[in-house]
Amino acid sequence: MTIKGRVFSGARPTGRQHLGNYLGAIKNYVALQDDYDCIYCIVDIHALTTVETTEDLKENIYEMALDWLAAGIRPEDSIVFIQSHVPYVMEMHTLLSMVTPLGKLTELPTFKEKIKQNPNNVNYGLVGYPVLMTADIVLYKADTVPVGVDQAPHLEFAREIVRSFNYRYGTKVLIEPKVKHTEVLKVLGIDGKKKMSKSLDNHIELAATPEETDKRVMQMLTDPQRVRREDPGDPDVCNVFSMHKIFSPKDEIEMINTECRRAGIGCVDCKKRFSANLNKHLEPFRAKRAEIEKSPDSVWDILRDGAKRANAIAKDVIEETRAAIGLPE
């Protein structure tokens, strides 16, 4: 019998998930369950670094967990939980902060970016963000973290923190996590310009009704050079075509690729076809979501059960870590 590796990944509670979340993370989460023990965390403490109000926090956690479960995350195999339900993470964060150079934290491009985005709220949490992220990973002895290529430097920094800790205390108690490069598709919003994002209101929600989906798809930007129906288009610069390539059958993709270039198909027809294929693809997800939604308590029960399992792992790791440092029992 082979021993499975352990994957950890966390995501901020952003409520109902959209196509960008699905293609960029959730799809990978679901697939990884076949080869790893997976721990998926809704990082509500991380969210506090930038949120202005916590009014929607619980609702966002619930909606996000609901989408994860409907998309195929299996709580009987994977641990799904809320970050703040395992308070050991705060202790691990503090212990790791003692071996993390402040200069390096303030030089990280992500920190500088956050300062630009929130000039009026440059809080300590923003500086310590990568330390808390590392605490999340090592607390569960995760050896593998799925990341897209652009996030790899963050994980390299986490590995450095772990090395510093183990070196400082002459121990191997903390595991240096490996990167698992996952295919993270960059999904553009319906504006065809910026990354799909809820805050930009350019997203298509997984849980939208077919009618809402049709409406959003009709708003999608196509080849900007194609003004009239009789103009030939270029699928290579069209966001609708990029989506067809993910959700439509092969023969339809080939047909559009040919017909668009000779104005044999109009953009409205092309969008209708994409929307129909997308709705069909999301049918099982939406059915499962509706089923789970009948008993909202079941979602909270799953999250509480996940926290119980996560706490059991974390307790052992914290005890080992304290012993490695030499803190009194």
Q: Which residues bind ligand SF4 (CB under 6 A)?
A: 222-223, 226, 233, 235, 238, 240-241, 256, 260, 265, 267, 270-271
Could you give the CA distance from residue 152 to residue 159 in angstroms, rounded to a whole number? Answer: 11
Find the shortest distance in angstroms from Cβ 279 to ligand SF4. Answer: 17
- Cα separation, 159 vs 165, in Å, equals 10
Q: Closest separation between CB of residue 232 and ligand SF4, Å?
A: 9
Considering beta carbons, is residue 23 or 270 the nearer one to ligand SF4? 270
Query: Toward ligand SF4, which CB reaches closer, 38 or 270?
Result: 270
- For residue 83, the one-letter residue type is Q
- CB 220, min distance to ligand SF4, A: 8
Length of the chain: 329
Q: Which helix or strand (DSSP H or E) is residue 64 part of?
A: helix 57-71
Given the complex with ligand SF4, which of 44 and 223 has the nearer CB atom? Answer: 223
Residue placing its CB nearer to ligand SF4 in the complex, 246 or 323: 246
Q: What is the DSSP string of 120-158?
A: T---HHHHHHHHHHHHHHHTTT--EEEE-GGGHHHHHHH
Q: For ligand SF4, give the closer residue by CB, 245 or 308.
A: 245
Q: From CA 32, how far away is CA 325, in angstroms rounded? A: 34
Q: Distances in Å between the alpha carbon of 81 and those of 20, 136, 140, 305, 309? A: 22, 12, 12, 8, 9
Is 206 in contact with 17 (CB distance < 8 Å)? yes
